[in-house]
Amino acid sequence: MRDVSIIGIGQTPVGEHWDKSLRELGFQALQAAMNHSGVERIDALYVGNMLSGELTGQEHLGALIADFAGLRGIEAIKVEAACSSGAAALRVGYMAVASGLHDIVACVGVEKMTDQQSDAVTSALATAADAEYEALQGLSFVSINALLMQRYMHEYGYKKEDFANFAITAHANAMNNPYAMFHTPITREQFAAAKPIADPINLLDSSPIADGAACVILAPMAIAKEFTSKPVRVRAMAIATDTLAVHDRRDPLYLEGGAISAQKAYAVANVGPSDIDLFEVHDAFTIMSALSLEAAGFAPRGQGVRLAMEGEIGLNGRIPITTMGGLKARGHPVGATGIYQIVEVVEQLREEAGANQVKNARLGMAQNIGGSGATVVTTILERL
C-alpha cells in the first residue's frame, strides 16, 4: 500500500444556490481543486452524494460531472452513505490511490437541497433512517436526535442550556470563513430563546439545509511534491457501521460506529486522542457533537457536553472543533459535508486558516456521520 496525500482542495460557498445546478456546483469545486493542485487530468472521479435522485431527479452523477468538466472517458462513480457520503467517496479514492490502481484521483462531495420545500427535504433525509421502524412511524432526523438529547439529559443530569456553547463556538468560527452560510454570531440568550423544533431541540441546535460542493485531489506521497510544496498526508481512514434504527442499538447514547472507526484510525496512525490537534465533528445537532466527542475518546461517557461548558472546544481549547463553522454555521449540504470537513482540516494543517488558525496543528481529525450513527467515517490527516 502506498502513502496517500492531498495535493489540492476546492469548495463553493455553502448557501441557497438557486441559480446553480447540481452539476455546476460539482464542477466548480472540482475545477477549483484541480487549479489549486495544478493537475490538468485525473484518472478517476468519485462523487459523494445522498439526495440527488430524491431532490433533483438526477442520478448517475459520476458520468454527469465528468462530462460537464470535460473529462469524458475517465472512471467516475457516485458513492452514497447517507450524510457520510462525502467521506465515503474519499475512502474509495484513498483506496484507489493507496492500492496503486490510480495515481491522481478527485473526490467531490455535492448536494443541492434548497430548491425543494422543507417537508420534501425532511422526507428525503429520513431515507437514511430505518424505513420500516423509524421513518414509517413518523420519525424525522430532528425527532430522532431530540429523543437522544432527552435521554442524554435524563441520564447525565444536564440542562438544555448546557449545550449552548457548541452552537456559539460554531457561529463564532464561521465569522472568518468566507465559504460559510452564516456570518452572524449568536449569544447564550439567543440560543435559549430560539424557535423550538422538537423538544428539546431548537433552531440553534440544528444545522441548516444547504447547497454546496467541495473537492480534494489525491496523489501518492511519492509524487506529491511535484504538485504542491505543502502536501497533507492521509495518515489513516476507517469506516464502521451500526444499526440504522436507534432502538436496535446496545446503548442508544453510545455511537458504537464512531468509536470503532476512531479506534481503527488511531491504530493505523499509531496515535491517540491526546495527539489530535483539532477535530471536525459532525455537528448536525448539538447532541451529535457531544456523542462524537465521547465516541472518539476526547471525553468519558456523559462528559462531552462538559467540554463545551468549560470552553475546551474553542480555537485555543484542549480540542478545537468546528474550526471553520462546522455543519451548524458553515452549513450542511449532506453529501458534501464530509469533503468540506476534510478541506477545512487541510487548511488548518497547511496553516491557511487565517484568523481561525489552530496554533501548531500537526494532526487533524474529522468524523463524518451517516444517519444517526449507522455509518461513521473517521479520517486522520497529518502535516508534513
Grid coordinates belonging to 193: 430563546
The C-alpha atoms of residue 296 and residue 279 are separated, in whole angstroms, by 9
Q: Are strands 201-202 and 196-198 parallel, antiparallel or unpaired?
A: antiparallel
Cα gap 107→45, rounded to integer Å: 6
Verify whether residue 215 is a known catalytic residue.
Answer: no
Q: Compute the distance between CA of residue 60 and CA of residue 53 in angstroms, rounded to an integer.
A: 9
One DSSP character per residue, 222-282 reads HHHTTT-SS-EEEEEEEEEE--SSGGGSS-TTS-HHHHHHHHHHHHHHT--GGG-SEEE--
Q: Reply yes or no on whether 332 is catalytic.
A: yes
**Active-site pick, 102, 171, 282, 332:** 332
Separation CA 321–CA 280 (nearest Å): 5
Question: What is the spatial distance between Cα 269 and Cα 382, in angstroms, rounded to a whole number?
Answer: 10
Which entry of 17, 83, 107, 282 is annotated as an active-site residue? 83
Q: How far is CA 72 from the centre of its chain?
A: 28
Catalytic sites, residue numbers: 83, 332
